[in-house]
Each structure stands twice: as C-alpha cells, then as structure tokens.
Amino acid sequence: MARTAKGRLWLRIGCWTFVATALLHLIGHFQAIAGASDLLVGFSGSFSALCLFAGLAGLAVARQGGVRLVRTVAVLYSLLAAALLVISIRFFTLPPIVSFAIALTACALATLTGRPSTDADPITRDQNL
C-alpha cells in the first residue's frame, strides 16, 4: 500500500504544479500584451485553461481512481510534461521550464512508485481475478 500512496502523492504534486503554472500564466495573461494578435492571446488563454483543468482532473484521479488508472494518468502526464518542457526550453523563459521540470519529475516518480503490491488495492486485485 505504501508504494501506491507514494504514487498518488507524486501525481498530486505534479498536478498541483500544472494548476500553479496555469494560475501564474493567467496573471501574466491579464497584463497588457503589447502588439499581440487576438490569435496569440487566445492560444495563451487556452494554454492556461488546459493546464488548470489537466491538473484538476489529475487530482481527482489521484484521489478517487484505482491503482491502474492512477498509474496510467501518471504516465500520460509524464509525457505531457516532457513535451511541454521541450517546448519551454526552446521558446520560453525560466519559470515554465522549472514548472514543467517539476511536473515531469513528480509524474515520473508517480509512475515508478505507483506500482501496486500484490494486494494493495482491492480494485486492482479484483480485476486480476
């Protein structure tokens, strides 16, 4: 059970990082963006919304999901954070790079430590019967 609890904890940390990134990005978004097109402003706002809701969805899974679902979401969020980290390294400044590096680390640790023991989760145990 301890391994699964650690996996859930790491997933929560990664998801809270997504939420924090969204909120910090929104703060910057509402400041005047001189010369930005409506398209750029729209994509910027969409990015904040997607990070926020991805983080909140992951927190719901970490709280209520079975072991397999938590691990699957952790793998997918690791891939998401890795992609966003690569994009951030290429195009952005230090804050999003740090945010996505933290999210990637936490979600990867959730993937590695979230493997169930033989009887850790009744949902998983019942599915294996």
> Would you say the C-alpha torsion 49, 50, 53, 59 has a positive or negative sign?
negative
* Residue 124, domain member (yes or no): no
d(CA 84, CA 97): 8
Q: What is the pLDDT of residues 16-70, one digit of tens each?
A: 998 988 888 777 766 655 566 777 777 788 888 888 999 999 999 999 988 889 9
The answer as to whether 125 is a domain residue is no
Q: Across the chain, what does the average pLDDT equal?
A: 82
As given in the structure block, the two tokens for residue 69 are 């679902």
Model confidence over 98-117: pLDDT tens digits?
999 999 999 999 998 866 55
Is 109 inside any structural domain? yes
Q: Is 26 left (phi over 0), alpha (psi -120 to 50) or beta?
A: alpha
Question: Does residue 127 sit within a domain?
Answer: no
| Total domains present in the chain | 1
Q: What angle do CA 118, 112, 88 make, to 5 degrees?
A: 155
